[in-house]
């Protein structure tokens, strides 16, 4: 088979496999949003049959031959197909390492465990979820062993599946550098005992008003609702099913409307990335190179743009219009800016302020690293969790619902994902530094030209590459240097020193 025939054969397989992933994504989205609760367990079994067909095709002898040939001839391929050959060989080796029956059983377990987690969280019932998580951790350890430990660590193997090229050795240095800035800065802010008027943030805002506000925010940020949708779920997520089908979810709390505001801005950042990946890329490279890169976009929109004074000024009239009469037109942009940037240690990661957020991620990183490497058992997880919240954030965890049960990630087997959030913050700040060399980012926000200037720059300088390069290579390509936490820590120090007059 010559190179042209080989590439054509691969393209045919990609289309077939993509069809399965689209179906599985739609089924997953349905189960997490509007599907009747009583249908979910039976769907877990039925969905597994679709997954089984996908798994068979992705490990078939014929498909293996195509991928192996591509990889063997990678130096004869153009850089796009060379990158595909490397990525698909790694993916194939991982798939082949796990017996089909094991993959099918694990897929069923994950679907059932999500339902168990959702009920456990709602009922504050850790014990009902514990056996599911024990099985998931056991599977994750076995999978990492089959894939092969990296530098002797099972957790490194799982981490590499989300963050190619990263290891705990690198991340320990990364997180230590964050702690060295964040913890002293947090203590300085706490000593100020700063008070401001924030009664309006718990004002009751109706479901319908919040949905209208969410769509307004998505529109001004550049999300195309004709190529996507907004739905509701227990734990917000985004699914980029295809470039013309990017689905966002949120969770409405009628007495915490800012939760929805920043959930939607965050998820919208993910979806804008999905919608604007270059159509000049080969289909299989129309992805982010890692979850950290995806999180860099959601965090960029949520925090760097969404919590800057210019953005608050831009949206304050709209927010005032939905508030109850006792606050309507009385909440100033300055009050709103202070409210969304209030630094206050809290229990829930998704509601955490921009400064302390990374501490929540560090706690999860340290726990899941120990879980996978066999240094911590699932039954001891709540105690370990509560201890770290006391140590890093100085707060007591009184409920597993707001503690170990708050995130959905482990119920879906996503061990190695959490570091992506903090890495994304750092990448986002480095992108800001680079973007500011071309134009004033915050003046663009002030002019309500987020899509026209900021979105266009990201499209031309980030989205154009997709997964063409490794995560670390892309940082260098976009910013001209390797990942440097200095940009993120300097950003935090400058912002919060000014807000709190330190």
Catalytic machinery residues: 267
Angle at 290 (CA atoms; ends 353, 272), nearest 5 degrees: 65
Question: How far apart (Å, rounded) are the C-alpha atoms in residues 224 and 113?
Answer: 33
Question: How far apart (Å, rounded) are the C-alpha atoms in residues 70 and 74?
Answer: 6
Question: How far apart (Å, rounded) are the C-alpha atoms in residues 433 and 457?
Answer: 13
Q: Do 245 and 232 form a contact (C-beta atoms < 8 A)?
A: no
Question: How far apart (Å, rounded) are the C-alpha atoms in residues 233 and 40?
Answer: 14
How does strand 228-232 pair with strand 245-250?
A: parallel
Give the residue carrying structure tokens 């009628």. 254
Q: Give 225's DSSP letter.
A: G
Exposure of 391 in the CB half-sphere (CA atoms within 13 A):
10
Give the dihedral of Cα atoms 451, 457, 463, 469; nearest 10 deg: -160
Per DSSP, the three-state class of 329 is coil
Residue 413 tokens read as 């087997």
The residue length of the chain stands at 502
Question: How far apart (Å, rounded) are the C-alpha atoms in residues 198 and 338?
Answer: 8
Query: Residue 332: which residues within 8 A CB-CB, separation 6 or more?
Result: 316
Chain centroid, CA 496 distance in Å? 24
CA distances 275 to 215, 294, 444, Å, are: 16, 12, 21
Query: Residue 49: which residues within 8 A CB-CB, separation 6 or more?
Result: none
475 closest CA partner among 245, 241, 289, 213: 289
């Amino acid at each position: 088979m010559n190179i042209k025939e080989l590439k054509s054969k691969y393209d045919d397989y990609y289309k077939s496999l993509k069809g399965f992933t689209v179906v599985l994504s739609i089924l997953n989205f349905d189960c997490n949003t509007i599907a009747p609760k009583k249908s979910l367990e039976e769907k877990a079994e039925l969905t597994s049959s679709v997954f089984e067909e996908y798994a068979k095709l992705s490990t078939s002898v014929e498909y293996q031959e195509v991928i192996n040939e591509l990889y063997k001839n990678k130096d004869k391929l153009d850089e796009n197909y060379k990158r595909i050959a490397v990525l698909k060989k790694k993916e194939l080796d991982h798939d082949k390492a796990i017996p089909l029956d094991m993959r099918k059983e694990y897929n069923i377990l994950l679907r059932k465990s999500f339902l168990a987690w959702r009920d456990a969280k709602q009922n504050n019932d850790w014990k009902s979820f514990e056996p599911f998580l024990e099985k998931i951790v056991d599977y994750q350890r076995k999978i990492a062993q089959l894939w092969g430990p990296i530098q002797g660590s099972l957790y490194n193997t799982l981490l590499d599946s989300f963050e190619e090229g990263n290891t705990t050795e690198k991340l320990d240095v990364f997180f230590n550098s964050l702690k060295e800035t964040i913890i002293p800065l947090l203590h300085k802010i706490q000593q100020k005992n700063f008070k401001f008027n924030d009664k309006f943030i718990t004002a009751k805002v109706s479901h319908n008003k919040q949905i209208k506000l969410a769509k307004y925010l998505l529109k001004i940020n550049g999300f195309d609702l004709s190529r996507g949708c907004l739905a509701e779920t227990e734990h917000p997520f985004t699914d980029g099913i295809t470039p013309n089908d990017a689905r966002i979810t949120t969770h409405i709390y009628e007495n915490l409307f800012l939760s929805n505001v920043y959930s939607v801005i965050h998820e919208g950042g993910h979806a804008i990335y999905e919608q604007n990946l270059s159509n000049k890329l080969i289909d299989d490279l129309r992805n982010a190179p890692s979850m950290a890169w995806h999180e860099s976009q959601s965090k960029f929109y949520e925090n760097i743009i969404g919590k800057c004074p210019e953005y608050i000024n831009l949206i304050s009239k709209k927010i005032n219009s939905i508030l109850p009469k006792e606050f309507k037109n009385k909440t100033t942009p300055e009050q709103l800016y202070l409210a969304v940037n209030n630094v206050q240690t809290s229990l829930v990661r998704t509601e955490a302020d921009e400064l302390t957020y990374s501490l929540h991620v560090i706690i999860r990183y340290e726990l899941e690293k120990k879980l996978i490497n066999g240094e911590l058992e699932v039954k001891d997880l709540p105690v370990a969790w509560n201890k770290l919240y006391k140590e890093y954030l100085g707060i007591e965890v009184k409920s597993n619902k707001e503690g170990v049960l708050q995130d959905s990630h482990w119920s879906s087997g996503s061990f190695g994902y959490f570091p992506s959030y903090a890495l994304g913050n750092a990448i986002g700040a480095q992108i800001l530094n680079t973007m500011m060399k071309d134009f004033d980012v915050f003046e663009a926000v002030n002019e309500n030209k987020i899509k026209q200037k900021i979105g266009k720059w990201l499209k031309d300088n980030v989205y154009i590459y997709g997964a063409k390069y490794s995560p670390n290579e892309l940082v260098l390509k976009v910013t001209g240097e390797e990942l440097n936490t200095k940009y993120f820590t300097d950003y935090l120090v400058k912002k919060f020193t000014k807000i709190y007059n330190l």
